[in-house]
């Protein structure tokens, strides 16, 4: 089976951190978002993953190698496709149209999910959802008594369903989706200048495909800095429940109190400080600081900080 991961966006809401690294490669609790996503698919699906296809922008050879390595860690081959214009979710998948054959998972790299993703081979496709309190902010689905999708509604003004689409899909015969994407592009069927995947899903449904709605246990958003920190904390609670912290083996922590929900990367050195609810990326040096609700980038140098800060890579902070 193939996994297709659109991730060409630049993650502007997470700047300055995404100025040097695409959002899906930012690490939380010791692994990148992409690694959490790919590992979760491998562990919770009953079908082996043979290929992982990444749809990216012009990120450079170093990033591409990191992605290929991520696929190879789970025993799959990695493949790179390019989306050089932000023209919507349908356009993103069109850029990897050659991969859309037979069984395919599509997962957008904006969120991390938890929960069983067992495949029902009696349907043509599965769309995973979460029950949300504010469905007007999302695309939602309506279903019949057998959880077969009957309608797709984008950001409904009136309450029609609480089942929000989270960006995880399974297609038993993905060549059918490829055909709909081809028609979408050929007919230049844009909405707000974008080609939307939802239009193709509507066409598949109208052509008789059974698309099932399945629920996830947890859907963890990483859209902005505070959401990323909240997701980071939840991952630590799940993966490291005793202490809810992650400290890389090569990190050095001297005369420092580490509170809950803290990740400390490789070769970090922290001296005479207190840290809680924060991500400290590899190579950072922190002295005489009390840090909370913060993201400290790679190779930053911080001294005398008291509070919250978001520092991009190679930044320096010193109390005046």
Q: Residue 274 belongs to what domain range?
A: 240-318
286 and 195 within one domain: no
Q: Which helix (H) or strand (E) holds 158?
A: none
Contact 113, 165 (CB under 8 A): no
Look up tokens 């919770």; give the residue.
44
One domain for residues 206 and 246: no
Residue 116 domain-assigned (yes or no): yes
Are 197 and 78 in the same domain? yes
The three-class DSSP label of residue 295 is strand
257-258 and 269-271 as β-strands: parallel, antiparallel, unpaired? unpaired
Question: For residues 185 and 313, what is the distance between their CA atoms, to the nearest angstrom?
Answer: 39
Cα 179 to its chain centre, rounded Å, is 26
Answer yes or no: is 230 within a domain: no
The residue out of 221, 250, 272 marking a domain boundary is 221
- Class of residue 200 by CB neighbours under 10 A (exposed 0-12, middle 13-18, buried 19+): buried
Band of residue 307 on the pLDDT scale cut at 50, 70, 90: very high
Q: What is the total count of domains within the chain?
A: 2
- What confidence category does residue 211 fall into, taking pLDDT thresholds of 50, 70 and 90? very high
Look up tokens 């999910």; give the residue. 113
Residues 34 and 176 in one domain: yes
Q: Which range, of 136-140, 226-230, 253-257, 281-285, averages the lowest pLDDT?
A: 136-140
If asked whether residues 84 and 203 sit together in one domain, one would say: yes
In this prediction the pTM is 0.86
134 and 274 both lie in a single domain: no
- Specify the residue for token string 């012009």: 58
Share in percent of the chain as helix, strand, coil (round to 5): 25, 35, 40
Same domain? For 73 and 198 the reply is yes
Q: Give residue 10's pLDDT.
A: 67
Work out the average pLDDT over 224-233: 87
Tell me, yes or no, whether 302 lies in a domain.
Answer: yes
Do 280 and 164 share a structural domain? Answer: no
With 80 as the cut, is the pLDDT of residue 298 above it? yes
Beta bridge partners of 104: 2, 171
d(C-alpha 270, C-alpha 54), whole Å: 36
pLDDT digits 0-9 by tens, 238-286: 889 888 999 999 999 999 999 999 999 999 999 999 999 999 999 999 9
Residue 73: pLDDT over 90: no
Instruction: Assess if residue 226 is contained within a domain.
Output: no
* Residue 305, both tokens: 């900080």
- Counting residues of the chain whose pLDDT is more than 70, the rounded percentage is 97
Q: What backbone torsions phi and psi does residue 83 show, to the nearest 5 degrees? A: -120, 105
251 falls within a domain:
yes
- pLDDT band with cut points at 50, 70 and 90 for residue 163: confident
State how far the Cα of 59 lies from the Cα of 108, in Å rounded to an integer. Answer: 17
pLDDT digits (tens, 9 = 90+) for 187-205: 988 888 888 898 999 999 9
Q: CATH number, domain at 116?
A: 3.90.550.10
Same domain, 188 and 247: no
Q: For residue 234, is it within any domain?
A: no
* Of 26-40, 95-109, 160-174, 304-318, the least confident: 26-40
Residue 65 has phi, psi (to 5 degrees) of -65, -40
Residues 125 and 54 both lie in one domain? yes
Structure tokens at 2: 């193939």
For residue 273, the model assigns a pLDDT of 96
- Pair 214, 246 in one domain: no
Which of 11-15, 115-119, 305-309 is least confident? 11-15
| pLDDT-based confidence at residue 11 (cuts at 50, 70, 90) | low
Indicate the angle between helix axes 33-44 and 61-73, nearest 10 degrees. Answer: 20
Mean local confidence (pLDDT), 21-35:
82
110 has pLDDT over 90: no
Q: Is there a domain that residue 54 lies in?
A: yes
Q: What is the mean pLDDT of residues 63-90?
A: 90
Classify residue 231: in a domain, yes or no: no
Distance (Å, rounded) from C-alpha 294 to C-alpha 307? 8
Domain boundary among 190, 221, 252: 221
Burial 12-41 (b: 16+ CB within 10 A, else e): eebeebbeebbbbbbbbbbbbbbbbbbebb
To the nearest whole number, what is the mean pLDDT of the chain? 88
Residue 222 has pLDDT above 80, yes or no: no
Last residue of a domain, one of 171, 194, 221: 221
Mean predicted confidence (pLDDT) in 139-145: 89
Q: Is there a single domain that holds both residue 144 and residue 201?
A: yes
Domain containing residue 305: CATH number: 2.160.10.10
The pLDDT of residue 220: 83
């Amino acid at each position: 089976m193939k996994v297709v991961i659109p991730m060409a966006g630049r993650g502007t809401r997470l700047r300055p951190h995404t100025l040097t690294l695409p959002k899906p490669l930012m690490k939380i609790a010791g692994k990148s978002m992409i690694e959490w996503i790919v590992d979760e698919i491998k562990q919770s699906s009953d079908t082996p993953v043979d290929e992982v296809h990444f749809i990216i922008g012009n990120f450079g050879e170093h990033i591409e190698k990191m992605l290929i390595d991520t696929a190879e860690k789970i025993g799959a081959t990695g493949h790179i496709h390019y989306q050089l214009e932000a023209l919507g979710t349908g356009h993103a998948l069109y850029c990897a149209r050659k991969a859309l054959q037979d069984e395919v998972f599509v997962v957008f790299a904006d969120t991390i999910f938890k929960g069983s993703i067992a495949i029902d081979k009696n349907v043509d496709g599965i769309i995973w959802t979460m029950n949300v309190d504010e469905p007007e902010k999302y695309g939602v689905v309506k279903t019949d008594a057998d959880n077969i999708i009957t309608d797709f509604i984008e950001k409904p003004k009136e309450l029609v369903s609480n089942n929000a689409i989270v960006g995880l899909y399974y297609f038993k015969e993905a060549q059918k989706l490829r055909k709909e994407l081809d028609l979408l592009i050929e007919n230049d069927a844009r909405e707000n200048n974008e080609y939307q995947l939802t239009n193709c899903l509507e066409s598949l449904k109208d052509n008789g495909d059974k698309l099932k709605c399945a629920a996830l246990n947890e859907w963890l958003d990483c859209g902005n800095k505070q959401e990323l920190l909240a997701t980071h904390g939840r991952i630590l609670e799940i993966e490291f429940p005793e202490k809810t912290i992650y400290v890389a083996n090569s990190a050095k922590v001297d005369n420092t109190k580490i509170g809950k929900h803290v990740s400390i990367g490789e070769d970090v050195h922290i001296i005479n400080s207190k840290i809680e609810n924060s991500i400290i990326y590899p190579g950072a040096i922190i002295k005489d600081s009390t840090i909370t609700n913060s993201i400290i980038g790679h190779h930053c140098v911080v001294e005398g900080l008291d509070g919250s800060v978001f520092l991009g890579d190679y930044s320096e902070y010193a109390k005046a």
